[in-house]
Amino acid sequence: MNFLLFLKPRLYVFVIVIGLTSSCITSKLKTTEFKLNNDISDNYFDINNKAYIFKSNIRLYKNEFSGIFVVKPCSNNSYRTVFLNELGMKFFDIEISQDNYYIHKIFESLDRKSIIKLFVNDFRVLLYNNVDKRNSKKYKNKKGNLFIIKPNKNKELYYIDKEDELLVRIEQYSPFRKIRTIKFQEFNNKFPEKISMYIVIILRNFYVKKLHS
């Protein structure tokens, strides 16, 4: 079966960029009254689905990898996340659940606690992005085209498009700054065919020198 057909029908794009610049602190939000037409939206990565396959680019500071990123939902409510290069070489295969993870395989140079923690946190925000749109307090954005949900206990902001009520952006904050942004773009049948992730590294001693050695 052709890869393209398997993707039904388009190739998804997944981009992770990890940089060292800092960002602004969460600005004050103004509440809005907004009534939803649709029911509470499900997670994009339906646990009952077969698999999601992306053309992928991962930029870790100065190092850049391209390849194929696979997300496979598992029966125990976890996800297998696999990254391969075009030649089929497997760089990592990590199984992630909401409160645990298991490394099936990781390339030696990536096998560092700080890098694994980064991937696990990224993919958790990406994969477990269920947000109670109906019952959460909603805030306005400046342009008025999006509304924002800030679940009480979480450190994330969820940006929802007002028109089609789809999740288009997640921002994650530390007490002082924005640390992670995920953008969902180019929707087809309410699924984002392009996903970009930008992670701000706060740790100055983040070590990625050996990635290509």
Partner 1 sequence: MKITILILVFTILTPLFIFSQPKGFLKVKNKQSVAQKISSASNKIKTIQSSFKQYKHLDILSNDIISEGKFSFKTSNLLRWQYIKPYDYLILMNGSNMWINDGKKTKKYDTGSNKMFKEINDLMLGLLQGDILKSKNFNLQLFENKKYILAELIPKSPEMKEFLSSINIYFDKLDYSVSKVKMSEHSGDYTKIEFFNKKNNISISDSKFSIK
Binding interface with partner 1 (CB under 8 A): 1-4, 6-7, 11, 50-51, 53, 55, 57, 64, 66, 68, 70, 72, 80, 82, 84, 86-90, 93, 104-105, 107-108, 212-213
Quote the CA–CA distance of 65 and 56 in Å, as a whole number.
8
Q: What gap in Å lies between CA 80 and CA 78, rounded to an integer?
A: 7
In angstroms, the CA 82 to CA 16 distance is 14
For the beta carbon of residue 54, count every other beta carbon within 10 angstroms. 20
Q: Looking at the DSSP assignment, which residues form a beta bridge with residue 182? A: 170, 197
Token readout for 120 is 């696990």
Q: CA-CA distances (angstroms) from residue 9 to 83, 176, 191?
A: 21, 42, 12
Q: Minimum Å distance from CB 82 to partner 1?
A: 7
Q: How far is the CB of 88 from partner 1 (least distance, A)?
A: 3
Cβ nearer to partner 1, comparing 71 with 160: 71
Least separation in angstroms between CB 17 and partner 1: 14
CA–CA gap between residue 177 and residue 91 (Å, rounded): 30
Q: Which is nearer to partner 1, 93 or 193 (CB)?
A: 93
Cβ distance to partner 1 smaller for residue 7 or 168: 7
Enter the tokens of residue 136: 């959460």
Complex with partner 1: residue 4 or 202, whichever CB lies closer: 4
> Would you say 140 and 31 are in contact if contact means Cβ atoms under 8 Å apart?
yes
User: By C-beta, is 3 or 24 nearer to partner 1?
Assistant: 3
Q: At closest approach, how far in Å is the CB of 147 from partner 1? A: 34
Shortest Å, Cβ 200 to partner 1: 24
